[in-house]
Amino acid sequence: MSSLIQVEPACCPAPTVLHNSSGLRSPEHNFDTSAGVPRNQSIWTSLPITYILTAIVATNSSGRSPDFLGRRPLTEYSSNSSTSQLKLLNATSEPSSIDWKRPSENPTTDERSFHWLHVVKTVIWVLVLLYISVVIGKIAILAMVTAVECRRIAPNPANKLEGMPPVTPVNFLISGENDGKMQQWGPGDWMRPLGGVEMMFAIGGWLRSLNTVQAVYVTSEKPLTRQLVRQALDLLVLRIPVLSTCIDRRGTRFWYKRMAQTVIDFEVCDEDTAKVLFDVQASSYNLSTGPLWKVRMVRMRPDEESPRGVVDENQTMIAFGILHVITDATTNLIICKELVNIINDLLQNRPISSPSYTLSAPHAEPLVDSTKSYLLAYFWKRFFKVIVFDFNKKTTFKGLVPLPKNYAVETRVKKHVFPEDVTSNLIKKCKENSVTVHSFLVTVANVAYYDVARQRTKENVEEVNMYYTDCINLRRFYPQQEKEHIGCHITMYEQKATVSAAKMVDFWGTAKTIKEKLHQDIAQKTCLKVIPIIKWATIIFPFNIYRNRKRACNITDSHYITTNMGDVTELVGTSDAKDPVHISDIYRSVNGEQAGHLFTYTCHTFRKRLYVSIDYCGNKMTDTQATEFFNDMIQKITNLATNGTLK
């Protein structure tokens, strides 16, 4: 006599049941007695992931996990030694005669145990599937980046540098750090693996994004010649090691590699300075062979002004385009300073000094103590959740400030240089209210963007959350002797600030709160914890590349990125009064059409004047919106510097 096992019926409509001539279900499926599913098929691998996710949060009226697996309603199980067959209580030839048994109002201990075991299994499998999806995504992004690079390299203007011979001597060595010690590398040598932040910028470079532009304006007694600047660049390469590097894959990691042959991409242009800067910013680079930089020289017209309004008969703009993976704002300014120093040495027939800089290792990364659970939670909140669930809600305030459509995929610039008196008053006001210039500028930007949001609707907008990312110079965590080493030594740290009408009234108090929060995070090294996962910010890039081709709204995860260099006068240096060439002005910018921010907020002070600019992406911010925001921000800065209030 076969044993009968009672099985709780599922709380769902009865599906159509196939019967054979004996009134039993067709026994062609062999069922497992412990789970009620085919032996040769796992319910965890055969079912859609949607059902698995549903099981985590849903329960039926009896307190048990719902029968989301689509099992047929069963109330009796019959098994014998030869085969396993499923019987229905009071089985007849018609499925409608099934006598359904209502679930127990008070579930037994076994039923409760089954429920919790079911949930635990589901959670474990969801975590496993999430981990697998992350790994697959990493491989897919790497493959996609490689494919895009292969299609984009040919033809690459940087590989056809006519009239640009390699620098001499061709076998010079460059110095740098690796494994805690100083090393020297010759042509073709592997140097060191990329750090987390460098990896993010390398991927961005492959996708023609995150290119830096650093221009230096110089005045001279006589016009600078092409031969003079070219000779100075030859000597500059000997002094700055990152200019002789490229990025290539070694195994599963990306490494710095010494170029097999150092080549300089240098041209003299007769076009407008703005056009040259735009072209340099939109350049592409061959990461695997180099060079990862280029130089363009423009002899300016006698009546043409620099950003701060300098006019000179012999004024020249020298613009560097450098891939962000090998540089940051500090390194860019050092490069410009050293170029001008070399030009003066050549004109004055002074001896050229030996190389004084090395490629520094990422000293901040060994200080990271993040747990895997922290990084997983950060990845979910910062990147995955934004792509899957948010889709621009946090940056558009749920559609209040929509992103543009049918746009031009390019970076545009709006800039302003404040007079000396306004700059001096602004710094004085900041000191009086115990705030930094950085927190002041961030608060002004947040308030100005809040005004843009309020102008978009007649309804009352009580408050908005502004998401911005601070670029933090990691040299503050380095040993003292390391602070002038060059390379890319920054990290990206996302911040959140709530802006409301009440906080606009207490402007200085709000700015002080922002300052204290940032200083606390730096002191506690909280900003270092996210370094291992920074490279995953590029997960947004492929989506935006595709959407840019369709002229559709981009995916965004923050409103803006700040890059505040403070007072750069000392870093740029002051030339000797007897030198024939002097730095008259500087300009810096970075593009980000594929990234997830709307604009880059660039600030610095040079020779007692505050420079403020935004590099906004036409595919994320309309010209009208950018103009309204920037003009409002400049007016608020002027008002606060003059009378201490927003109006």
538 φ, ψ (degrees, to nearest 5): -75, 0
Highest mean pLDDT among 31-40, 199-208, 210-219, 530-539: 210-219
Residues 267 and 401 in one domain: no
What are the tokens at 292?
Answer: 């990862």
* b/e sequence 477-514, b meaning 16+ C-beta within 10 Å: bbeeeeebbbbbbbbbbbbebebeeebbeebbebbbbb
Structure confidence by residue, pLDDT tens digits, 326-383:
999 999 999 999 999 999 999 999 988 766 788 888 888 888 888 888 888 888 877 7
Q: Does residue 166 or residue 254 have the better pLDDT?
A: 254
Residues 112 and 164 in one domain: no
Residues 212, 218, 224, 228: is their CA dihedral positive or negative? negative
Structure confidence by residue, pLDDT tens digits, 11-53:
444 444 444 444 444 444 443 433 443 333 333 333 334 333 3
Instruction: Look at residue 110 in the predicted model and tell me its pLDDT.
Output: 57
> 606 near 592, Cβ under 8 Å?
no
Structural domain ending residue among the three candidates 347, 382, 398: 347
| Residue 197 resides in a domain | yes
Instruction: Look at residue 369 in the predicted model and tell me its pLDDT.
Output: 83
| Residue 138 resides in a domain | no
Instruction: Look at residue 235 in the predicted model and tell me its pLDDT.
Output: 94
Q: CB neighbours of 528 closer than 8 A, spacing ≥ 6?
A: 364, 365, 367, 368, 474, 477, 491
Residues 316 and 431 in one domain: no
* Range in 114-128, 215-229, 571-585 the model is least confident about: 114-128
Instruction: Look at residue 4 in the predicted model and tell me its pLDDT.
Output: 39
For residue 195, give the amino acid letter.
G
**Helix (H, G, I), strand (E, B), or coil: what is residue 611?**
strand
Q: Estimate the share of the chain in helix, then strand, then coil, as percent rounded to the nearest 5.
A: 40, 20, 40
Torsion of CA 224, 228, 232, 233, to 10 degrees: 90
Integer Cα distance of 125 and 41 in angstroms? 16
| Residue 360 resides in a domain | no
Integer Cα distance of 534 and 548 in angstroms? 23
Instruction: Look at residue 580 in the predicted model and tell me its pLDDT.
Output: 94
| Residue 356 resides in a domain | no
| Residue 131 resides in a domain | no
Structural domain ending residue among the three candidates 76, 106, 124: 124
Q: In the chain, how many domains are there?
A: 3
| Residue 244 resides in a domain | yes
Residues 322 and 450 in one domain: no
Instruction: Look at residue 96 in the predicted model and tell me its pLDDT.
Output: 44
Residues 209 and 339 in one domain: yes
Cα–Cα separations (whole angstroms), residue 204 to 36, 382, 605, 639: 51, 18, 28, 38
What are the tokens at 121?
Answer: 């299994």
DSSP structural state of residue 480: G
- Mean pLDDT confidence for 143-169: 45
Helix (H) or strand (E) holding 149: helix 109-153
**Helix (H, G, I), strand (E, B), or coil: what is residue 161?**
coil
Residue range(s) defining the domain that contains residue 529: 365-478+488-574+583-643
Nearest Cα to 614, choosing from 593, 584, 591? 591
Residue 499 has pLDDT above 60, yes or no: yes
Residues 371 and 338 in one domain: no
Residue 467 has pLDDT above 80, yes or no: yes
Nearest Cα to 416, choosing from 636, 645, 630, 632? 630
Q: Which position has the token pair 């140097």? A: 191
Residues 406 and 501 in one domain: yes
Q: CB neighbours of 415 closer than 8 A, spacing ≥ 6?
A: 307, 587, 611, 612, 613, 614
Residues 188 and 115 in one domain: no
> 359 near 486, Cβ under 8 Å?
yes
CATH number, residue 529: 3.30.559.30
Residues 611 and 495 in one domain: yes
Number of helices followed by number of strands (H, E) in the chain: 17, 19
DSSP structural state of residue 38: B
Q: How confident is the model at residue 520 (pLDDT cuts 50, 70, 90)?
A: very high
Structural domain ending residue among the three candidates 296, 312, 347: 347
Q: How confident is the model at residue 574 (pLDDT cuts 50, 70, 90)?
A: low
Q: Does residue 470 or residue 128 have the better pLDDT?
A: 470
CATH number, residue 294: 3.30.559.10
| Residue 517 resides in a domain | yes
Residues 390 and 513 in one domain: yes
Q: CB neighbours of 606 closer than 8 A, spacing ≥ 6?
A: 308, 567, 568, 569, 572, 585, 586
> 431 near 438, Cβ under 8 Å?
no
| Residue 20 resides in a domain | yes
Strand residues in 354-479 grouped as ranges (E): 411-417, 463-473
* Range in 58-67, 125-134, 344-353 the model is least confident about: 58-67
Residues 429 and 460 in one domain: yes
152 φ, ψ (degrees, to nearest 5): -90, -25
> 468 near 497, Cβ under 8 Å?
yes
Structure confidence by residue, pLDDT tens digits, 283-297:
999 999 999 999 999
Q: How confident is the model at residue 478 (pLDDT cuts 50, 70, 90)?
A: confident
Residues 97 and 10 in one domain: yes
